[in-house]
Structures are given as C-alpha cells and as structure tokens.
Structure 1
Amino acid sequence: MEYFVERVNDLHVLDIEQLVQESEREGYRFVTRLVTEFEDGTNTFSKPGEGLFCVVTKDAEVVAIGGINESSLTQDRDVARLQRFYVLDKVRRQGVGTMLTQSIIDYAKDHFKEITVRTESAKADAFYRACGFEFDDSASETTHIMRFDDKE
C-alpha cells in the first residue's frame, strides 16, 4: 500500500472518526482532544512553526495524524512539542509512523531547536528512540527529546 504525508490546514475537511474511535477504545483521549481543541480554537496548530500532518492512502483514508506545537512547558519559543500522534493499528509496523514522524521532524527543524514528547508506553519509547529521540525524563512532562544542533 502507498502512503502519503499531507499538511493539514483544516481538520474539518478530514474524516478522522476511525482514528478517534480506535484511540478511545485503546484508552487514549488525545485524538479526541485534538478534535475538541481544534473546534474550540484552543489549538489549531497555527502559531509560527506549528503544523498538523496526516498520512493518507491513495484512496484518501486517513491512517495517522500528528502535529508539532510551540511548547507550552517553557518560555523558550524555540522548543516544540510533538502532540496528538496516533497511527491506526492496521498500519502499524509498516513504516507509517516513521514516515509521519520524519515529515514532522523535517518541518520542525526549520522552526525550532528541539522537539520534546511525553509517552508512558514501552512501545512508544522504543519507537521514538528508533526515530532519533533521546530518552530524557529530567522534566516532568517530557520523556524524549530531539535537539537540532544547526538551528541558530
């Protein structure tokens, strides 16, 4: 199957109900929060450097989503946070998550000096390490960090 990463400018035009339902069944509420926050304007991934991305099939089925926000955990505007990242179970371990993560990293390194993320899952820990993040839980809301040395 072929997959394509797309930048999402308007969440309203995407059908992500399958992502919402599956993530809720797995006990994750962050995709639901993505929808709620986009609806109420709390987080539309529209500040400088921010972006929301999805992975779609050639038939336009959304199989993964994730975004990058300016971190609200620090006053440093050069620090970003990977947020609302979810991949449908049926496409996991097929490179979809890596493709999405790499696209977000490629975009973010032009805007930020580091990306942080928080996870509580051993599988997610292994995934983020494989994507180049370093384990770092020195801050309470962060478990992994990727620093860009060439960002001035």
Structure 2
Amino acid sequence: MGEFHFFKIDHLLTLDLNGLLAESKSEEFRFLTRLIDEYQNGINTFSGRGEGLFGVKDHLGEVIAIGGLNQDPYSNEINIGRLRRFYVANSYRRIGLGNQLMDHILSFAKEHFALIVLHTDTEQADRFYRAFGFKKSCLFPGSTHVLIIK
C-alpha cells in the first residue's frame, strides 16, 4: 500500500476529492457532499478555535481519507469538540490508516477540548469508534458517542 502523507487541510476546495466523493456516494454516505457544500458556502470551514480538517494522501498524491474537528455546534460548551466527516477510502480500510488518522485528529483535539462527541448510524463505525474508547451516549445533543480526552 505504500507510504501515506497526513496533513492539515488549509483550503479544501484546492484538493481533488472526486474519487473519494464518488466512492462515498456509491456507499450512500452523503457527508462528504455536505462537507464540500458547507465549505463552499462558508457554513463550515473548520477555521474556528480548535477546529481543523485533516487528510491523508497515498504515494500518488490522491486523497484517500479525511476527517474534521469542530467546536460542537449543538453545545454552548467551548470544551466540547465534534468529530465530523470522517471517511477512509474502501481499499484503505482495515490496514490501520483510519486508526492513524484518528490518532492524528485526537492529538490535535487534546490541545483544545476536554471531550469529543460524534454521531454515527452504522455498526461498522460504531465498532471503530468504540475501539478508540468512545462510549455510546445520548447525553450530548445530536451525538451518539462521547470520548473524554482530558
């Protein structure tokens, strides 16, 4: 599979996400479409305090994974981050790439937040997030999982 390049995305719209977007649509995931639409419209550019959007490129320079961190928009608490738009290309799943990207995002998150929430509705994602220590919880609005990081 080769080596991977992890990076913070400064300008999403300068990246070629066509392959990742097409694959996510074929799996009936809409969140990468929302990511691009909200970024274009300025609704969510991952530029607030503690926010960031991260990507992974393969040895050919293709974006093969992406994940973002926002201040939780459903809470008034500044110490709650929300993991968003996490997606790994199918051919790169189950080789540890998603784990590495999650580690990268959580390391960044620890500098800004005390806990991270997220929402998922798939069993596969539930297993992935619980393996990182996320607990199923409905205590936070719009969330299915929470992880205390501080």
TM range (shorter): over 0.9
Q: How far apart, in 2, do the equivalents of 1:22 and 1:62 lie? A: 12
Deviation by residue 1:29-68 (Cα, 9 ceiling, x = unmatched): 1000110111111110000110000011122111000100
Q: What is the aligned partner in structure 1 of residue 129 from structure 2?
A: 128
Q: How far apart, in 2, do the equivalents of 1:140 and 1:108 lie? A: 19
Q: How far apart, in 2, do the equivalents of 1:44 and 1:37 lie? A: 7
Identity, % of aligned positions? 40
> What is the CA distance between 1:132 and its match in structure 2?
2.1
Q: What is the aligned partner in structure 2 of residue 90 from structure 1?
A: 91
Structure 2: runs of 5 or more not aligned: none
* SS across alignment from 2:43: coil
Q: Give the 4+ runs in structure 1 shifted more than 4 A.
A: none
Q: How far apart, in 1, do the equivalents of 2:138 and 2:72 lie? A: 16
Structure 1: runs of 5 or more not aligned: none
> What is the CA distance between 1:137 and its match in structure 2?
2.7
Q: How far apart, in 1, do the equivalents of 2:139 and 2:41 lie? A: 32
* SS across alignment from 1:21: helix
Aligned residues: 149
Please give the root-mean-square deviation of Cα atoms over the aligned residues, in Å: 1.1
TM-score (norm 1): 0.94
Q: How far apart, in 2, do the equivalents of 1:67 and 1:49 lie? A: 11
Q: How far apart, in 2, do the equivalents of 1:82 and 1:91 lie? A: 20
